[in-house]
Amino acid sequence: MIELEGLTKRYGEKTAVNNLTFSVRPGIVTGFLGPNGAGKSTTMRMMLGLDNPSAGSARIDGKHYAQLKNPLRHIGALLDAKAMHGGRSAHNHLLCLAQSNGIPRSRVDEVLDTVGLTAVARKKAKGFSLGMGQRLGIAGALLGDPQILMFDEPVNGLDPEGIHWIRNLMKSLAAGGRTVFVSSHLMSEMALTADHLVVIGQGRLLADTSMADFIRENSRSYVRLRSPQRERLLDVLHAAGVTVVEAGNGTLEVDGHSAEELGELIGSHQLVLHELSPQQASLEEAFMQLTAESVEYHAHTEAPAAPGWGGSWQQGDNEKGA
Ligand SMILES: Nc1ncnc2c1ncn2[C@@H]1O[C@H](COP(=O)(O)OP(=O)(O)OP(=O)(O)O)[C@@H](O)[C@H]1O
């Protein structure tokens, strides 16, 4: 269990993390979301005792990180996969970690096997691809067989097979009763992995809720209808007091009624339907909706773009090339 209480971090005038209070519970995967610069990494660093809070506290199993006797046995973390001695082999990197943390050396081969790096265990880490580096970082997090795992952008640089692997790894760690806390900007991946979400924006807590509730509360759900008897269908819906939005291409959208209710109503008038489908927004849409106000770095989309080119247009770029 991780518990934050009023956690705050100020850098001069800038409040990077602002009075965060939430808990990360065992047995589920908790996703940690926020736009760039929202304060996710700073929060994670404070949880691991790498940064001192300006106010408030972060507790790991009831203790500050610095009070943990064998920290790697309590919490394993992947923060920055590149933060390792590149001249060491994967095996030696993990062996050093094990020896300095009272972890049996037998764990080194076990975790190398878990992350699929056994074949390259004697190769120097500096020659590793981004994805291999991520796997080695994850091996380091698993080394002490901790009950709590924290991953900052773990799928960075991983190929589809690697992404699938880390998703299953996190789910199985949680299913085994561990606490799993993971940040990612890949919303589609987060939607498949996390059960619970903590969302922050400009350092403040915006949501602490289940994935299903988050999507429901921050997006519009509606039912999409298509019928070759469109005019008659509109008459039936209007007569029943149902508000309909015409979405183009003959498609109708209805808010506030379930697909079951609409199906019963339309069926009772013996109308033909080509589509009756409940629509739920994606996590990405719900996230954009919630965080729209707190995005720190917006791209400029107002600038005129060259025909057929979707990027932003800056005068300077043109001048440089002239
Ligand atoms: N050492 C520091 N000194 C000054 N400002 C900092 C420092 N570390 C972070 N910040 C600022 O604090 C804010 C939060 O940064 P942080 O890296 O925690 O955000 P993040 O949510 O992890 O972002 P990203 O998704 O881009 O990784 C940013 O505005 C950042 O510029």
- Judge whether 113 and 187 are in contact, CB under 8 Å: no
Task: Look up the ipTM and state it.
Answer: 0.96
Going by CA atoms, what residue is nearest to atom 16 of ligand 1? 39
Backbone angles phi, psi at 146, to 5 degrees: -75, 160
Going by CA atoms, what residue is nearest to atom 17 of ligand 1? 41
> What residues pair up with 68 in beta bridges, in sequence order?
none
User: In 3-state terms, what secondary structure has residue 251?
Assistant: coil
Q: How far is CA 217 from CA 127, 211, 253, in A?
A: 46, 10, 19
Backbone angles phi, psi at 71, to 5 degrees: -55, -40
Pocket of ligand 1 (CB under 6 A): 11, 14, 16, 34, 36-42
pTM: 0.81
Per-residue pLDDT of the chain (322 residues; tens, 9 = 90+): 999 999 999 999 999 999 999 999 999 999 999 999 999 999 999 999 999 999 999 999 999 999 998 899 999 999 876 666 667 889 999 999 999 898 999 999 999 999 999 999 898 878 888 888 889 999 999 999 999 999 999 988 788 988 999 999 999 999 999 999 999 888 888 999 999 999 999 999 999 999 989 988 888 789 999 999 999 999 999 999 999 999 888 899 998 899 999 999 999 999 999 999 998 878 888 888 888 876 666 665 544 433 333 233 233 333 333 3
